[in-house]
Structure 1
């Protein structure tokens, strides 16, 4: 298993006990690590270099809306590990992921500030947040509150408020990206994310239907609780150990086999690929929608349709110049 490792802690106080003392910190949920989030992290890295401090992100899990407003049914864009991966790739050296519970949601801004700025052995040199960032019970804390707290405590902390970014005259936000992906608008998602939309994680064991019944083995990703595109068949690719592998994606509830899963199933069949990769981490990209999901009267009819779907996906890859992957 090629499981990555990150410097992740569950309490702020664990930083100094692990040799991290002078820090610059960015705070936020960062479920997307979109262009706006990336701007915050760039400032964090810049300040950390200037102060010769460790760049640290404080984030939260589960997503705060799932605790504060569970009726909204908010789903995540990134698994927690994917969030860690993207933040680390941007230069973050340590991550504190605080458990966001109902009790935590009721903590006052003062309590949070005490944990951060009065932690023994820890010196915060700079704090980078989005200009609209709020914290504490009822979102009662803001940048002005932080400034007052720091002044009252006679702390020397630079507060860096990052302005919001806009694309197409609209603010970049995680909600906007969730809506784009839910309707299958990958062009809009890429514009807001600053990268191709993808799902990343370890390959899990599936139901055995794709290989044993349909004779098209697949790699499966667990997407429970995730925002995903509309159900259907897509031309796609997977990145595995630095290699890009073309294939075809199925995303849906497997109605032909009466599965009716509450969370969709994601499977990718990789062309001309037969390696055993259970537990290996792959990144799956949706490239082109081929057709909607539908129920077939029999497995034989589904297999015939899969053959046509694969033909369409291979033709797409050829048009994109992927013939080097054996798609001719």
Structure 2
């Protein structure tokens, strides 16, 4: 994906642009419809489609205590948008200074930066600008004054209720991955960069990839069977989400650790995506490390069996 940090001419000579604006947290089916209509306008007008978004949720700056956890990190959000066919994104760093920008100034900033605007597409409930003063009505007024089209996309419904990022978070928090997938329009996944851990998994005989999931919405603590995407291929994974009470590490940040049976390679610093399939058990405090090791062995065996039944490689040895 072509990622921009400020609006500017695209192409030589500059092509007109069709903009989709939003946070796009999770890139669910409602967001996908906004992108689809943005692409359609770009194609019909001989222009370029651009997604305009922010590097974080605005609430994390404006009201941190009320900010929802994000469903995916920024890089995965952009990948999901690109998978819909939109190859250019303008990502603004959202901070207090940016938040004080009047709504009219923000739209003018986009128009003057890109040059000719074919149109702007947003969800009907989209708000922006200082004190949330910008909305669809304001964009429509500016469109009439400045000569660009505006389209507000109403929410898509599922089960009689509008699809929203909040609903997806609720499904994830309940461990309902199938339900989350229905709202997203693709399998739910937990994504993050692999960071160094304390190598406890290696000491126990089950090396793990430790994901940085700071600020992300997480499922209930427990052990899960999952599919891990590594170098474009699918591999089985046994995933632990929790605080590891058996080894006396009950405080601090919750951890997401993935053991990939049979995988030999270094994942540090790489991005890993885990499609959680089902919960095997809750997180348990065992009486000894040996009891923990034995249970992990049973968990991994169950994951291998599941992998074999679903056509995934399930080698019995390997390291991370």
- TM-score, scaled relative to structure 2: 0.92
Equivalent residues in 2 for 1:280-291, closer than 5 Å: 280-291=270-281
Quick check: 2:225–2:278 contact (8 Å CA) kept in 1?
yes
> Which residue pairs with 2:4 in the alignment?
9
TM-fit CA distance, 1:82: 0.6
Cα distance in structure 2, aligned partners of 1:86 and 1:283:
12
1:308 is displaced (CA, Å) by: 1.8
1:102 aligns with 2:96: yes
Contact in 2 for aligned 1:225/1:263 (Cα 8 Å): no
Please report how far the alpha carbon of residue 111 of structure 1 lies from its aligned counterpart in structure 2 after TM superposition.
1.3
User: Would you say the 8 A contact 1:223–1:263 is kept in 2?
Assistant: no
Unmatched tracts of structure 1, length 5 or more: 1-5
Residue 60 of structure 1 is matched in structure 2 by 54
| Paired residue secondary structure (2:9) | helix
Whether 1:126 aligns to 2:116 is no
Partner of 2:250: 260
Unpaired segments of 5 or more residues in structure 2? Answer: none
The answer as to 2:168 corresponding to 1:174 is no
Instruction: State the partner residue of 2:154.
Output: 163
**1:293 alignment partner, SS class:** coil
* 1:142 to 2:135 alignment: yes
Structure 2 equivalent of residue 3 of structure 1 = none
C-alpha offsets along residues 119-163 of structure 1, whole Å, 9 cap, x if unaligned? Answer: 3x61111111112222222222222212222333xx321112112
Deviations along 1:229-267, one digit per CA (max 9) or x if unpaired, are 011101112111221111211111122222235332111
Say whether the 8 Å CA contact 1:224–1:264 is kept in structure 2: no
Structure 1 residue 36 corresponds to structure 2 residue 30: yes
Which is worse superposed, 253-262 or 163-172?
Answer: 253-262
Q: Distance in 1 between matches of 2:107 and 2:223?
A: 48
**Map 1:290-301 → 2, pairs under 5 A:** 290-301=280-291
Write the distance in 1 (CA, Å) between the matches of 2:59 and 2:176: 24
Preserved contact between residue 72 and residue 216 of structure 2 (Cα < 8 Å)? yes
Q: Distance in 2 between matches of 1:264 and 1:133?
A: 32
* Other-structure match for 1:204: 195
Aligned to 2:310: 321
Deviation at 1:304, TM superposition (A): 1.1
Task: Give me the TM-score of the superposition, normalised by structure 1.
Answer: 0.90
Q: Which moved more, 1:31-40 or 1:277-286?
A: 277-286
State the match for 2:216 in structure 1: 226
Check the 8 A contact 2:236/2:261 in 1, yes or no.
yes
